[in-house]
Amino acid sequence: MTAVDDKLKALGVDGNPRTLSGFTTDLCNIPAFGLYDIFNYLLCSRADYDRRKLKAYKSFEDYRLFSDGHVECLEVKENASSPVCIFRKKVCPTQKDKTYLKKPTYDVWLIIDNPDGEVKLA
């Protein structure tokens, strides 16, 4: 069992977020969260992020990529066994036709606390 598996289990998520069922594209009831929730997660919970990497962040790049169609299949699932929401999406690479694993998209997931929007795991 990996550290990510342990964290998923602690959050009450049974299984890999990429393969769970019960997701919807209806985003009407998602908790409010934003850039600072993601910033806090990266800065406080990830050892591989530091000030230099955060300074290199391109402002509003994420919204531009979304509006340009790089984010596909955005879905959400409320978790019945704990107060978290699981988001998953497919993200097209911006520089090449395929990912470094030779796939057409990156499979991305994010778990946030419901209702406060704190990023718990990604």
- Mean pLDDT score of the chain, rounded to an integer? 83
For residues 102 and 84, what is the distance between their CA atoms, to the nearest angstrom? 32
> Quick one: pLDDT at residue 26?
92
Task: Return the pLDDT at 111.
Answer: 93
Rounded Cα distance, 15 and 7, in Å: 11
How much is the pTM? 0.77
| In contact, 22 and 75? CB cutoff 8 Å | no
Domain containing 19 equals 3-121
Q: Beginning with the edge strand found earlier in the chain, give each strand of the sheet holding 84-91 in spatial order.
A: 71-78, 84-91, 106-113, 119-121
Residue 52's pLDDT is what?
Answer: 67
Total of domains in the chain: 1
pLDDT in tens, 51-97: 666 666 555 566 677 788 888 888 999 877 788 999 999 988 887 78
C-beta of residue 43 within 8 angstroms of C-beta of residue 49: yes
Query: Which of 5-14, 32-41, 53-62 shows the highest mean pLDDT?
Result: 5-14
Q: What is the pLDDT of residue 42?
A: 76
Find the mean pLDDT for residues 38-60: 68
Given a cut of 60, is residue 44 above it in pLDDT?
yes
What pLDDT, on the 0 to 100 scale, is given for residue 76?
93
